[in-house]
Structure 1
Amino acid sequence: MRSAADTQFLVNEALALFSRLQTVRSFSLNTPMVLAAAVSAPAQSAINDHLARIAFDLRRRLQEFVRWMQGPDSQGLSTAEAQAKFVLLKLRFNNLLDQVDIFADVLSQRGEHGTGTWLAGLDVLAEDALRLPGNYFEAPPLICFAERGHGAAIRRARTRLPGGDDNPVGVIQIPRERMVGSGIASSLIHEVGHQGSELLELTKTIRLELDKEAAKGGPEQLGWLLLNRWLNEILSDFWALGHLGIGATYGLMSVVSLPSYFVFRIGTDGPHPFPWIRVRLSLALGEALYPHPQWAALTRQWQALYPTDGLTASKQKLIRMLVDLLPRFAQLVLNHRSQALREQRLADLFPIAERQPAQLQALFRQWQQQPALREAAAPSLVFAVIGQARADGQLSPPQEYQLLARLLTRWALNRARNYGLAPPRVPAPPSHSLTT
């Protein structure tokens, strides 16, 4: 039999939890940022609606628990049984706070001067890189935040949050040390590729083809099995190549430029290709997408940076076998068709024609004369042109930084205006003055 004191204790605990729940407020009310640094209106709405739904449900359940504890229906339960019911509500509250913290970490950075606006510009780049012509899927909102560390990551939309709820937005973590340069696009669009590949079920359908190759047996079987195991990361690199051209590979090289021990550390049980072969995969896919002598030159440079002749015989044998497979693997990926792709070639989903090296070089020359055209172009195209210019030695790192900082700010401000969050552009004052 439960005592009145035990009942009152649990009622008070539930009421205290209910009071603390009132502190979970909409981010629209408590997140300081300039208007241009705000996340997109769809992302803001999705996050606020998601958290409000959970908080509303939890408030309802707490109120029902208090009424139930004070009514006759609960009297047959022991104190321990009543406590077990309350603890489930407390755990749900902690799940909600975990989710609030995930989004708060992202949104609080939007209050940082300069960085917040750049992050909003990167949101625009991310959404551009996920958007494919043809409406192959409903693209979720994407938001970016910077984090210390070397690599990027994504918490994909529609995956599980703490407590089992579906994530309403894709949350992309990018390395702060890469802000701001063209290399940031490689990391960012790689993570976008994880979201896009999942929406198109690419890993699932391409693995079926790799399974067929591995089933043939022979000395190449291990190579096909390894490519199968690494496929998720490879496809994300492919997504970046499809938007950025050679800039994606240069960005990847920057990420994996590590001491030789790590570059040649061959792990066969993880999802990532070892760094040396990962760059070679990017080079092979890039050359298949954008035939040009620059890929052979960059391959030679990578070989010079990390020569293989000092490796053990077994490592050299495995690397030779994988390198021999790369052209066939690249064609398998480019020519892949599936029901989710409406039987179109995978390569044809990406803007390959306009991002050939010659086209990017021509755009760079044109934009030098007409900068307004650059500002009107798609963000991923701008990064592709700048990446090609860096590869060609036409743009120095300081020039790149100044240009990208200005463009990220412009994209953020334009989006804020489109959503009615910022005032319209004010015309520049006349060059002469009317004051004395």
Structure 2
Amino acid sequence: MSDRGFIFDYSRCVGCHACIVACYNQNHTEPPMAWRMVVNGNPVKIPLKGFINLSIACNHCIDAPCMTNCPAIAYSRDDETGAIIHSSLKCIGCKYCTWACPYEAPKFNPDKGVVEKCNFCNDLLKGGGIPACAAACPTGSLTFGEIKIEANLSKPGFPEVATSPRINVANESINDSLPEMAIEATGLQQSDFVETYSHRIHPTKEIPLFIFTYLSAVLVGWFITFYRLEKISLFSKISFILLFAFAGFASLFHLGKPLRAIRALLHVKSSWLSREIALFGLFAFSGLLYVFTEKPPLFWFSVVVGTAFLISLEMVYHVVRKNYSTPIHSANTLLTASTLFSLITLSKAFVLLATIKLLLYLVRHAYIQKFYPKRVIFSLIRFLGILIPLVGLLFGLIPANIAPFLTLFLIGEFIDRYEYYASIDTHNPFQSI
């Protein structure tokens, strides 16, 4: 495999975007879709703050997270050039690779329902040429040639993620000599300017996912309560089946190509997303079979599979950047399922589990400096959704009909799971330059 790749010189890049235009021309992409981007350390042009640019695209990493994590095996490596090639015909549009890549190289094309990315100008490389972006750079800041591969590039614009990217950089020390903004000279405060970043993970963008993950925790927690029933009621059977169907159906709306959803099962060997989907299907099969037959061996098998399913669901998010300091989030699905089970069965374990959830939630919110009216209201509802059932169980105030307490708890969990997607984002070059 070739040890050739991009070479970028911070001191020469003037942010002219010639590399992006060359990429457009070579690959026939159309704005706003851009396989290469220029990241600027001062995007809103704050006076006297200084400028540093980084031209970046897919770095065709040795340990490519997009290829490892893609559930549909839509990525492959060209052994001759080292290029990571994406197949739009195999892509299901799950966007998981856009989460896994720390360089924001894979881009989701909503018009096509699939991901697109830089292909290293692979045809040019095989013909003895170099990528169009490097050939078009007028200052020589972006070139192509023999490189020394480093597992982790601790350079401006490169997140602390070990992927062994095919890129070397030069003169990064220029970042240390950038001037500080002189407030006295300009009369401007730093806070007057907001350097915005469009988050790739946001709760309003991930509604199908947060509904699916929330219902998954509810389904597993509810299912475990069936052990104490001599016979499952017809109403419970129908409700359980409908909830399962709705959860599975909701997850399809996250895909750009839902008719290719079956391909998500192809990469169980290394993709946590593929494992999650496989275990969800197995839990659905065994769990629903138990609901109809009520055979004890099926119950215990389903409990094991359901637990493994929630573990794999949480592991899907190992690729993201977590903006909270606690070991786990209070909306952790395995914790939610366990707490729900203990509440329905009025187990004393609920006191411990609810207390853990409450502390995790309070610690996370202790670091929030800005409070908005809507956030305060929803946080209060979420807080009471744990506190009231906890106090009710401690002091024996929960009546035989626990429906009001259960409803309040589920509403609180719904809010918390929504907040989870506001607490995570991808690793990206915007956060480190």
Fold agreement, TM-score > 0.5: no
Q: As a proportion of its length, which structure holds more strand?
A: 2
TM-score bucket (shorter structure): under 0.3
TM norm structure 1? 0.25
Higher Rg: 1
> Relative contact order (C-alpha < 8 Å, sep 6+): which is higher?
2
